[in-house]
């Protein structure tokens, strides 16, 4: 709406209001454990646990009407009026219903078309809803790695060789991080989330020799 530019003053689409990242590295000292003291040091020494934990708030998103309300602008770029206050959550029985009313999610909004004084093909006016007025679900991710370094001397030159075994766990707790919901009022599945923002748990193993 060129006559209401403050409505477009909002966070950027990539804005993350809050973010916390924690990294930890721990030498396990497995050779000191009473139950493992009788094992060979080559088996019990050199173990490390690494972790990277990330928690962020959700990304902002805009709700569009899906209707060309006036003769200005492009198709699909108009925004409706907001007439209700949805409780945004992914903790319901139907977790993907972010707005909470299922097929009735559109009842939180009103598309001002066919109104007195309206313009364009649908005799409408600009909606009052601002840009990026809602935020998507938060993201929680926990990555871990278990590492074992084993060193020995090889050859007549007594060259030091290190063999490193790594087992890496991405999204260890297999948390479902939901993406942004469908944001077009007149579109299919409005207010429902149909994609995730991160991968499911992934585990990989690797073996590396350093000399």
Task: Read off the pLDDT of residues 169-197 as tens digits, 9 standing for 90 and up.
Answer: 999 999 999 999 999 999 999 999 999 99
Residue 135's alpha-carbon distances to 57, 145, 172, in angstroms, are 8, 32, 25
Read off the DSSP letter of residue 20: E
User: Which residue is listed with tokens 């260890």?
Assistant: 172
Do 37 and 157 form a contact (C-beta atoms < 8 A)? no
- pLDDT digits over 65-87, tens only? 999 998 886 777 899 999 999 99
> What pTM did the predictor assign?
0.83
Other C-beta atoms closer than 10 Å to the C-beta of 66 total: 19
Residue 157 pLDDT more than 70? no
Q: Which of 8-12, 71-75, 120-124 is predicted least confidently?
A: 71-75
Ramachandran quadrant class, 117 (left: phi over 0; alpha: psi -120 to 50; beta: rest): left
Do 167 and 144 form a contact (C-beta atoms < 8 A)? no
SS3 40: coil
Residue 71: predicted pLDDT? 83
Residue 93: predicted pLDDT? 94
| Cβ-Cβ contacts under 8 Å for 189 (sequence gap 6 or more) | 182
């Amino acid at each position: 709406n060129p006559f209401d530019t403050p409505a477009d003053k909002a966070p950027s689409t990539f804005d993350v209001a809050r973010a916390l990242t924690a990294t930890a590295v721990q030498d396990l000292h497995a050779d000191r454990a009473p139950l493992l003291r009788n094992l060979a040091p080559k088996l019990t020494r050199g173990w490390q646990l690494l972790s990277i934990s990330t928690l962020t708030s959700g990304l902002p998103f805009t709700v569009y009407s899906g209707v060309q309300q006036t003769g200005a602008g492009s198709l699909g770029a108009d925004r409706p009026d907001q007439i209700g206050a949805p409780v945004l959550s992914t903790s319901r029985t139907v977790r993907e219903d972010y707005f909470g009313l299922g097929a009735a999610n559109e009842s939180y909004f009103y598309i001002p078309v066919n109104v007195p004084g309206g313009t364009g093909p649908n005799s409408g006016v600009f909606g009052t809803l601002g840009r990026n007025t809602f935020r998507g679900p938060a993201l929680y991710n926990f990555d871990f790695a278990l590492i074992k370094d084993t060193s020995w001397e090889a050859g007549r030159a007594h060259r030091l060789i290190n063999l490193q075994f790594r087992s890496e766990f991405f999204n260890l707790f297999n948390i479902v991080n939901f993406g942004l919901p469908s944001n077009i009022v007149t579109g299919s599945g409005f207010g429902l989330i149909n994609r995730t923002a991160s991968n499911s748990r992934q585990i990989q193993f690797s073996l590396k020799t350093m000399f």
